[in-house]
Amino acid sequence: MKNIFITGVDTDIGKTFVSIGICLLKENENKKVGYFKPFQSGAYEKEGKLIAPDPYELKKYSSIPSKYSYLFKGEVSPHLASILDNVEVDMNKVKYDLENFSKDKDFVVVEGAGGLYCPAIKGKLFSDIIKELNLETIIVTTPHLGRLNHTLMTLECAKINNIKIKGIIINKIPENMTLSEKNFIKELKLFSDVEILGAIPEIKVLNKENILKAFKTLNI
């Protein structure tokens, strides 16, 4: 069994989409897969029930089991969301939940929020959470203008914090790329020796078949 942590160089970078893609890929390889979200912000009500957005998104494509430790309503960092909901977070619960959730699975995708320096709980950033969970990490980025800077800064942050990076996934590759976007991978390889695990194109029609097709060459 091997668990992996998914972080991003920014918010709205596609961490959940990449997490779903990896889950579907491993399920397609006949692995027992799970999706774990330690802290889920942005919960909303639907038919009288409080919905966790990211696990709900996964359920559109598969019955892969999912779990979260804490669910918050605010569409803000988990730390601020916990304050708004007046909830005291216990990391021991997160560790216990992940350990038990992982027992009968070959592979669990653990998704963070924001980036490595996004506030997770009181006094801790997501970089601290990754270290406490002792997980190898994948960084999600995009080739868009300014993201090379964000990506290299995230790699430096991981290095400073002794976080083991498995590699980088470049998400949202547009069909018609600008010169800057075309040059992104070349420059990333020039300034970093971290493995690029895959480049995921933008998908016009989201369904299981198209997601699997986009992730089929992913090296993970």
91-129 pLDDT tens trace: 999 999 999 999 999 999 999 999 999 999 999 999 999
CA distances from residue 214 to 1, 22, 38, 61, 192 in whole angstroms, order as listed: 24, 10, 27, 14, 24
62-65-71 Cα angle (round to 5): 110
Is 124 part of the annotated catalytic residue set?
A: no
The correct answer on CATH 3.20.20.70 for the domain covering 2-215 is no
Taking the model in full, what pTM does it have?
Answer: 0.95
> pLDDT band for position 87 (50/70/90)?
very high
Kindly state the average pLDDT of the residues 189-206.
95
pLDDT at 199: 95
The CA distance from 128 to 79, in Å, is 13
Return the closest-CA partner of residue 93 out of 112, 110, 68, 73.
Answer: 68
pLDDT in tens, 20-74: 999 999 999 999 999 999 999 999 998 888 999 999 999 999 999 999 999 999 9
126 touches 113 (CB < 8 A): yes
Q: What is the pLDDT of residue 150?
A: 97
Round to whole Å and give the CA distance between 74 and 44.
9
Q: What percent of the chain has pLDDT over 90?
A: 95
Q: 2, 26, 32, 37: which is the annotated catalytic residue?
A: 37
Give residue 58's pLDDT: 97
pLDDT 10s digits, 168-196: 999 999 999 999 999 999 999 999 999 99
Q: Is the pLDDT of residue 1 over 80?
A: no
pLDDT at position 48 is: 86
Q: Is the pLDDT of residue 198 over 60?
A: yes
